[in-house]
Homo-oligomer: A and B are copies of this chain.
Amino acid sequence: MRNLLLVPALLLGLLATAQPQSQLNLMPTPSSVQTGTGQLLIDRSFSVAVTGSHDASLDRGIQSFMAQLSAETGILFRSKPDAAKPALTIHADHGRQQIQKLGEDESYELTITASGAALTAPTPLGVVHGLQTFLQLVQASTNGFAVPVVTIKDQPRFPWRGLLIDVSRHFIPIDVMKRNLDGMAAVKMNVLHWHLSDDQGFRVESRQFPKLHGMGSEGLYYTQDQIRDFISYAHDRGIRVIPEFDMPGHSGSWFAGYPELASNPGTYNFEPGGPDSVTDPTQEATYKFLDKFIGEMAKLFPDAYFHIGGDEVNGKHWDANPKIQAFIHAHGMKNNQDLQAYFNQRLQKILTKYHKTMVGWDEILHPDLPKTIVVQSWRGQESLAAAARQGYSGLLSFGYYLDLMWPAARHYAVDPMSGAASSLGPEEKSRILGGEACMWAEWITPENIDSHIWPRNAVVAERLWSPQETKDVDSMYARLDAVSLHLERLGLTHRSAKLHMLHRMAGTAEITALRLLADVVEPIKDYTRWDDSKGPIDFHAPLNRLIDAVYPESDVARRFRDLVQKYVQSGFKDQAAETQIKTLLVAWRDNDAKLKPLLGQSFLLQEAVPLSENLAAVAGAGLQSLDYLDISQPSPDSWRTQQLTLLDQAKTRKADLLLMVVAPIQQLVEASGNPKKR
């Protein structure tokens, strides 16, 4: 009945980067840090005193800081501590804006001595950021929890540091959104760009047009009360909330309730919507509708900016509608682009009426629009520079798309001022306001959104906050490890969700061997998961496969690659590195036999069989290469050719995943052909 099975296996989360205690695990890196000696102990007598300006929002901020400090330390702070000798004094010179403004002063100074800490800032906004820096400094020392003696002067490089979350394609409940606000605050991002409507769903309660959410959301939307509460939660954390209602394209969900707005009116089944749906910009009724709708939303969302989307307008239905073509002709327009510009101009007037500044994607850029609008570049740095040259303010999102499954280092390398922007003049450069990471939700659920945003989003946050010269990738990854643990303590689930999902696939079986495989794969990159020739994506499909569970970036593979690099660069002489490489390769080689029975049991794991077999095979090739290198004898050409064929095959996509240790093993195989060269 009971089958006691012992599976000794090697754990591979073990290529650990040990941080020397002297490193400050701050992300984003502050603009100025002066370290000292000694530390300020944090014990249960720790308390905060506020002098100078403060308001209810700051009081809530301090409360939430104390709760986070408690999570960080496990200390149960008293609700009414002895305020006689506060460990941290906070002073803000004056109040902050009731509705947070772009460019509001976010700077702060944090001075920690062995006897106390002082946080000063022009406004409570800087205090909010400074408190997060304080939290990141907390560490378990030999004497107790403590923050090091340090003086930090800090302010952001860019005033607009955002994260877009698409809640249309898959709905993300408000509590999941809130914990992501906590994460944003932890890395000092200050704009939540809420992609609230698209073909797949309209996610806001509209009292003016209740069929918008009533027929366009399958019941999954935010009430206006929830939104107000969310905006206040964001405000407490120094985050502006900017709504996006994408139009005239990406608006299929609107037409479920209001088909008369569409360019090809008819009956709209909400699903699938289809990528071709587009608003009819030629009828006055459209603008009447939008005036009323935007009037309602302008009140609900207090921020001065309002995002109207404007991307990827598919002209098919405009082309096919003779009335629309006649309109284009009658108004002397050249093409659909002109028609969209006309639409945007009309929209822009409505927004102005409601005191909103228009933000839109690349495609809205058109000389007919006023210079006050903000252009968000997703198609490349070229278009950002072009906008700046033409006098428009801009935001960079190209390079920050988290759904492309790029490694953190690749996002980190993208700088809003690099590429085409580097040749801009100072005034033009000042028009680049910052950027936004984007979490598009084609393949995202409430369960795995955290692991697709975090920790990678922290490096985009650093790029937008820290001085431009903050570029060291090794330091970035080391600090990212620390910030990742910190974020999980704040309530994000980017680490724990993976375990849950693997357990679900494995049933009651032990998952060590499965984790070992999961730790060395990554999802395929860019937009290769779906091929449009297969038809529209099925947004109700379960996202419970291995690809949905694993991290976009494999830390184990990254560290293995570094290790092989080190070994090769030592001329194959670094014995410690070789031993470590061997240990890993043996574990990988032997894993398939352990994993096979499990893979056969669960339909969700069957697709991983070739991956597991390939891992064993390539690890074998790696081990043989090391044998040749050990005896300094070149491996036979025929053997190498054979192995390289194997490796080429193992590099290809399996179960929509990539085996990330193949490339470094290939390096070993190739090196084995010439062991003495170095």
Contacts and interface: CB of A to CB of B under 8 A. Distances in A.
Interface of A: 1-11, 13-21, 23, 25, 44, 72-76, 78-80, 139-144, 170, 218-220, 445, 447, 474-475, 478, 481-482, 485, 488-489, 496, 499-501, 503-510, 512, 540-544, 548, 559, 562-563, 566, 580, 583-584, 587, 600-606
A512 B79 contact: no
14 contacts: A2-B478, A5-B17, A6-B16, A8-B10, A8-B11, A13-B512, A21-B601, A25-B508, A74-B445, A75-B542, A76-B445, A76-B542, A144-B603, A481-B508
Contacts of A144: 603
Q: Which 5 A-B pairs have the closest CB atoms?
A: A74-B544, A16-B510, A6-B580, A140-B602, A11-B11
A467 B283 CA distance: 72
B74 A501 contact: yes
A141 B14 contact: no
The interface centre, meaning the residue of A16, A75, A512 with most chain B CB atoms within 10 A of its CB, is: A16
Contacts of A541: 44, 76
A482 B478 CA distance: 36
Contacts of A474: 1-2
B475 A503 contact: no
B507 A11 contact: no
A16 B3 CA distance: 9
A541 B512 CA distance: 36
Given A6-B583, A11-B512, A80-B219, A447 B74 contact: yes
A563 B14 contact: no
Given A79-B219, A79-B220, A504-B489, A580 B8 contact: yes
B504 A140 contact: yes
Given A218-B79, A447-B74, A485 B505 contact: no
Given A14-B510, A80-B219, A74 B600 contact: no
Contacts of A16: 5-7, 509-510
A216 to B, nearest CB: 13
Question: Which residue, of A76, A142, A601, A603, has the highest number of chain B Cβ atoms within 10 A?
Answer: A76
Most buried by B among A445, A489, A510, A548: A510
Nearest to A19: B508
B7 A10 contact: no
B14 A512 contact: yes
A19 to B, nearest CB: 5
B603 A143 contact: yes
Given A10-B11, A481-B508, A543-B74, A4 B23 contact: no
A540 B478 CA distance: 35
Given A5-B16, A10-B11, A603-B143, A73 B219 contact: no
A4 B563 contact: yes
A186 B580 CA distance: 45
A73 B14 contact: no
Nearest to A505: B140
A80 B542 CA distance: 16
A669 B272 CA distance: 70
Nearest to A501: B74
Contacts of A5: 15-18
A507 B6 contact: no
A508 to B, nearest CB: 4
Nearest to A11: B11
Given A544-B73, A603-B141, A503 B485 contact: yes
A78 B601 contact: no
A170 B70 CA distance: 14
A23 B10 contact: no
Contact of A74 (B20, B72, B542, B562): B542
A14 B9 contact: yes
Contacts of A563: 4, 6
Contacts of A142: 600-603, 606
A213 to B, nearest CB: 13
Given A2-B17, A4-B563, A544-B73, A80 B482 contact: no
Nearest to A510: B16
A452 B50 CA distance: 38
Contacts of A18: 3, 5, 508-510
B17 A504 contact: no
A174 B656 CA distance: 42
Contacts of A19: 3, 507-509
Contacts of A72: 504
Contacts of A506: 140
B10 A78 contact: no
Contacts of A219: 79-80
Nearest to A496: B496
Given A16-B7, A504-B73, A563-B4, A603 B78 contact: no
Contacts of A605: 140
Contact of A13 (B489, B505, B510): B510
Contacts of A508: 18-19, 25, 481-482, 485
B17 A540 contact: no
Given A6-B14, A74-B544, A142-B606, 7 more contacts: A5-B17, A5-B18, A14-B512, A16-B510, A74-B548, A142-B601, A481-B508
